[in-house]
């Protein structure tokens, strides 16, 4: 997971209620909180699980670099609001150059919210006691701040606009405008503030989660099943020891590819004994086979499913063909039945098991509190596992937008009364994310 850095203004820092809801949510999920000097006095309540670290302003950049190298999520708390801090420009510039995504959370809600959300930073030190009323003239170059616009910084950190014309000797708050606008910040991304549940695990899920986070979303990866070894490796080993007898090897999942080639390696078998043609169910499975140095000869043109693969086989004569079908314990039999009807000798080989796993209590609570904006359903079995393990959530799931990976998964969702919000033309997580972007942009 890529690192994220969030700059949070704590306001006058007299009580936790000064923090915005956005800041609260961020502090609930980050791994490290860097408190810059007096941004959060030690005597104040710290209600979050994340450990806080008090740092001097001069050490913030070094600590950010250290934790970002660990790919951790970081919150940097500064007094009042980010636009007030003299070193914020340096920190923002480093984050932009390194392309560390993040966002700025203002701590004061009048003038400073304009500075923060438009990417301006204070170019010279500015301090004011809360009991003082300090009038400032803004100077912002070509940006849309009137050079002599008047703001008054009053008690308890409040800003008010307007007032009498000031003397030329009045303090000037100089705005730094030489930095590029923070187009990398998550607040400008199309899925900013959305929270998604991804019922899938592994490298594919991690890649999808990273992309969603770069689009501004919060992602909970919560696979409802796990892959475990088959009941016995004996049958697998015996089958693979005669691998040269097969005319076709068909892969209908990425897990089957991984388990198949790992077994060949475990048995110290020369891959050149595999003389069979290889067929795959879709592009991701094809790419994984190619990683092992082999090139599939058959894949569906559009529908990446057992039905699509069966249609792709229609021009081939399969009478008497020996076909090996590596699979899991929950695989459908549609393709196997079709191949047998064409006269093929099909040998299903169970090389892994798909076992149900319940959701964590924290994820269940998010669903119950209606804090999930959409759920990614990546397999028909995921729908079965989710509903069967948590039947009390069924009514809640019907109200959450459901993003289905394909026709079969959509059919299963409909079976449980869960409306399908979007289903991409291509069966892939990237295509599902494209659908989510389109859906929420229209929303």
Q: Is residue 110 over pLDDT 50? A: no
> Given 306, 331, 355, which residue is the final one in a domain?
355
Nearest partner of 437 among 403, 408, 399, judged by Cα: 403
In 400-429, which positions are buried (b, 16+ CB within 10 angstroms) versus exposed (e)?
bbbbbbbbbbbebbeeeebebbbbbeebbb
Return the residue matching tokens 């912002």: 140
Q: Which of 335, 333, 284 is nearest to 307 (CA)?
A: 335
Which domain range does residue 252 map to?
A: 227-355
Tokens of 189: 């991304």
Residues 104 and 16 in one domain: yes
Number of domains composing the chain = 3
Q: What is the mean pLDDT of residues 39-66?
A: 89
Q: State the SS3 of 272-293.
A: HHCCCEEEECCHHHHHHHHHCC
Could you tell me the CATH number of the domain that includes residue 202? 3.40.50.10090
Which CATH number does the domain housing residue 129 bear?
3.40.1010.10
Nearest to 79 by CA among 159, 156, 12: 12
Non-local CB neighbours of 223 within 8 Å, separated by 6+ positions:
199, 200, 201, 202, 205, 357, 382
**Residue 108 and residue 80 in contact, taking contact as beta carbons nearer than 8 Å:** yes
Same domain as 177, residue 88: yes
pLDDT at 53 over 80: yes
- Same-domain status, 370 and 341: no
Q: Residues 206, 169: one domain? A: no
Straight-line distance from the first to the last Cα atom of the chain, in angstroms, rounded to the nearest whole number: 28
Q: For residue 120, name the pLDDT band (cuts at 50, 70, 90).
A: low
Arithmetic mean of pLDDT, 203-210? 85
pLDDT at 251: 97
Which domain-ending residue is among 327, 355, 383? 355
Same domain (yes/no): 295, 237: yes
Least confident of 111-115, 231-235, 399-403: 111-115
Q: 135: which DSSP letter?
A: E
Residues 405 and 425 in one domain: yes
Residue 236 CB coordination number (10 Å): 21
Reported as a pLDDT band with limits 50, 70 and 90, residue 155 is very low
Report angle CA 16, 20, 23 to the nearest 5 degrees. 90
Mean pLDDT, the chain, integer: 82
Closest CA to 95 of 217, 26, 29, 5: 5
Rounded CA-CA distance 248/286 in Å is 15
Question: 109 and 86: one domain?
Answer: yes
Q: Taking the mean position of all CA atoms in its chain, how far away is CA 392?
A: 26
Last residue of a domain, one of 355, 371, 398: 355
Clarify whether residues 129 and 140 are in a common domain. yes
Q: 45 and 129: one domain?
A: yes
Query: What average pLDDT does this structure show over 242-253?
Result: 95
309, 169: one domain:
no
Instruction: Kindly state whether residues 289 and 407 are assigned to the same domain.
Output: no
Give the largest Cα separation in the chain, rounded: 97
Cβ atoms within 10 Å of 47's Cβ, excluding its own: 9
220 and 231 fall within a common domain = no
| Structure confidence at residue 203 as a pLDDT band (50, 70, 90) | confident
Instruction: Check if the beta carbon of residue 218 is closer than 8 Å to that of residue 194.
Output: yes
Q: Using CA of residue 311, residue 317, residue 318, residue 323, what is the dihedral sign?
A: negative
């Amino acid at each position: 997971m890529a690192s994220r850095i969030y700059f949070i203004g704590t306001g006058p820092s007299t009580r936790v209620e000064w923090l915005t809801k956005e800041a609260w949510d961020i502090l609930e999920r980050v791994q490290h909180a860097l408190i810059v000097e007096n941004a959060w006095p030690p005597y104040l309540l710290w209600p979050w699980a994340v450990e806080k670290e008090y740092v001097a302003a001069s050490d913030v950049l070094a600590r950010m670099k250290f934790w970002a190298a660990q790919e951790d999520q970081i919150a940097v708390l500064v007094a009042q609001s980010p636009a007030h801090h003299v070193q914020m420009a340096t920190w923002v510039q480093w984050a932009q150059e390194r392309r560390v995504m993040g966002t700025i959370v203002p701590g004061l809600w009048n003038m400073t919210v304009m500075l923060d959300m438009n990417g301006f930073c204070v170019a010279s030190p500015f301090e004011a006691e809360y009991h003082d009323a300090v009038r400032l003239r803004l100077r912002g170059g070509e940006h849309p701040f009137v050079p002599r616009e008047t703001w008054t910084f009053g008690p308890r950190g409040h800003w008010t606009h307007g007032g009498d014309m000031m003397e030329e000797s009045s303090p000037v708050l100089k705005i730094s405008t030489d930095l590029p606008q923070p187009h990398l910040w998550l607040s400008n991304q199309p899925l900013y503030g959305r929270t998604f549940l991804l019922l899938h695990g592994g490298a594919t899920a991690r890649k999808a989660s990273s992309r969603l986070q770069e689009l501004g979303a919060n992602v909970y990866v919560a696979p409802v099943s796990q892959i475990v070894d088959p009941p016995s490796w004996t049958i697998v080993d015996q089958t693979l020891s005669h691998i040269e007898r097969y005319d076709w090897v068909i892969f209908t999942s990425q897990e089957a590819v991984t388990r198949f080639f790992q077994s060949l390696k475990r048995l110290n078998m020369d891959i050149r004994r595999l003389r069979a043609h290889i067929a795959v169910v879709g592009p991701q499975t094809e790419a994984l086979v190619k990683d092992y140095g082999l090139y599939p000869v058959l894949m569906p043109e559009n529908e990446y499913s057992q039905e699509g693969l069966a249609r792709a086989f229609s021009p081939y004569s399969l009478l008497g063909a020996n076909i090996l079908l590596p699979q899991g314990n929950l695989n459908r039999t549609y393709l196997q039945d079709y191949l047998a009807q064409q006269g093929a000798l099909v040998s299903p080989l169970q090389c892994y098991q798909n076992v149900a796993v319940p959701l964590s209590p924290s994820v269940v609570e998010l669903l119950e509190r209606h804090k999930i904006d959409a759920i990614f359903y990546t397999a028909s079995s995921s729908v079965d596992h989710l509903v069967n393990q948590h039947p009390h959530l069924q009514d809640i799931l019907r109200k959450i937008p459901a993003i289905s990976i394909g026709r079969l998964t959509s059919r299963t969702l409909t079976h449980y009364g869960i409306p399908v919000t979007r289903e991409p033309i291509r069966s892939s997580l990237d295509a599902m994310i494209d659908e989510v972007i389109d859906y929420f942009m229209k929303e």
